[in-house]
Amino acid sequence: MTAGEPPRVGLLTLVPFDQVDLDVWHRLRDAAAELDSPYFHPGFAAAVHATGRDVKVVVVADRDDRVTGLMPVHRDRSVLSPLGSPAADFQGPLLAVGSRFPVRRLLSGGVRTFEFDHLATGVADFAPWIESCRVSPFLDVSGGFEAYLGRASRSGRANMAQARRHLARAERTLGPVSFRVDNPDAGVLAKLIELKRRQYAATGARDYFGRPDRVELMSRLLRTRSTEFGGILSTLCAGPHLLAAHFGIRSDRVLHWWFPVYDPAYAQLAPGWMLLRELVIAASTVGVERIDLGRGEDEYKRRAKTGETQVFQGMVTRSMRRRAVRAGLAALSDSPLGPPARRLVREFRSRECRPGPHDRGS
């Protein structure tokens, strides 16, 4: 192999999660800055696996049997899907510097498709199968709240100022305002899930928490009490009233904004903005320097963000028919006919790609 040439791929295997060398996992992750999201931490895979949802890992090795890549997945008959999908907001392989991922070799051993919707790494290798891309905003909160405001847009600063006024109003009308950045109370997590399920029902979205293993995943993550990796539940109250809450996952300096919710009874106070403001202020107390908001162009994300990255959607398959139908439906879902088109996409995926749909619906 000449200098600068990527290591040659010698082997790709699919192995159970508990047979993977986690020291190798940490080594690959620590060597690449783009892998600092908690979704790439082995603790996330361990928590998902412990709920009973089987995790497999694609292991890529060079011709000298050195591991150059890992990608955790789920296998459902002939279909591979990313770890934790549909609630994994960053997906992709963990690769050694200069290594490549042999995407076509995923379609072996009876595997017919690998579908991804938040691909963040290995993009060059997956390029032939990418169908679209979406923005994934983030907040740079390093240096504290004032430093964040210096990086935020004018509308972001205006909303943060308005949130401060709403906090004062809540205190006058409802009682003393209290914010806990890291609340380990399992009862509060249950309340968050209850409010989230009501939100899904009110908006017609698919109920992510309709499956017990997903509720169990939240509980396991909340019980993981480590600065290296774990769940983090933040709550905003006024007197005895829970105004808003958020459950996310963090790893080292990165917090991923995952399941925010507010009590609609206090919607006039914009409790979501109040919660986000308090979280930005408190981020430094738990060592957080970046808050990833996840894919989406919601107005509050657009206003609050200080930057954004991209994530990609597509499907690895040999079937040109599937790719053509998916591409057409994806284009339609971005049109004014978006909501019914997205239902068609879900129906197509459930028929063609897997025995049962796993959409989060959030």
The tens digit of pLDDT for each residue in 157-210 reads 999 999 999 999 999 999 999 999 999 999 999 999 999 999 999 999 999 999
Q: How far is CA 349 from the centre of its chain?
A: 20
Predicted confidence at residue 340, as pLDDT, reads 61
Calculate what percentage of the chain has a pLDDT beyond 90. Answer: 82
What's the confidence (pLDDT) of residue 355? Answer: 32
| Contact call for residues 226 and 280 (beta carbons, < 8 A) | no
Q: For 227-256, what is the mean pLDDT?
A: 96
The residues that bridge with 259 in the sheet, in sequence order, are: 247
The gap between the terminal CA atoms of the chain, to the nearest Å, is: 47
Q: What is the pTM of this model?
A: 0.87
Percentage above 70 pLDDT, the chain: 85
| pLDDT, tens digit (0-9, with 9 covering 90-100), for 61-108 | 998 889 999 999 999 999 999 999 999 999 999 999 999 999 999 999
Looking at residue 358, what is its pLDDT? 32
* CA atoms of 304 and 138, how far apart (whole Å): 8
Q: Which residues partner with 139 through β-bridges?
A: 291
Query: What is the rounded average pLDDT of the residues 330-339?
Result: 56
The span from the CA of 16 to the CA of 324, in Å, is 33
